[in-house]
């Protein structure tokens, strides 16, 4: 079955540590996205990538970094510079670089800073 796999589902981090969230898709989609969701809030865009080896900052990129070395993979690193990293992180993909269709979501990764 085609889909998006995020790992880990739950992650605990001590303050000052960097953590990397994995996102892999086998839908052959060009575009991939990372969103953050806080309780009672909508989705806010962190980074997105329309093509391999290229990515763009979203609305809340500070304290995060990404890479897109393969079409299937778009990992997100939450760095120690992110002051409030506890949140639900969602990876998504979309067909075409400038597609008009829907986003497909992974199951999400919940990060808690201890």
Evaluate whether 63 touches 46 at the Cβ level (below 8 Å): no
Where do we find the tokens 């970094």? 65
Name the residue among 83, 94, 87 with its Cα closest to residue 108. Answer: 87
Candidate list 18, 26, 41, 112; residue touching another protein; CB under 8 A: 41
Q: x/- binding map, residues 54-73, to another protein, per CB under 8 A?
A: ----x---------------
Instruction: Give me 83's structure tokens.
Output: 């002051």
Stretch of residues binding another protein (CB under 8 A), selected from 11-19, 60-68, 71-79, 92-100: 92-100
Tell whether residue 85 is a contact of another protein (CB under 8 A): no
């Amino acid at each position: 079955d085609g889909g998006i796999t995020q790992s880990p589902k739950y992650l605990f981090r001590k303050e000052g540590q960097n953590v990397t969230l994995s996102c892999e898709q086998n839908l052959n989609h060009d575009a991939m996205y990372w969103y953050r969701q806080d309780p009672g809030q909508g989705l806010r865009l962190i980074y997105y990538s329309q093509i391999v080896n290229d990515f763009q900052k979203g609305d809340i990129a500070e304290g995060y970094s990404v890479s897109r070395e393969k079409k299937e993979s778009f990992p997100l690193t939450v760095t120690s510079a992110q002051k409030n990293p506890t949140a639900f992180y969602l990876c998504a993909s979309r067909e075409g670089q400038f597609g008009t269709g829907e986003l497909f979501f992974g199951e999400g990764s919940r990060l808690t800073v201890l």
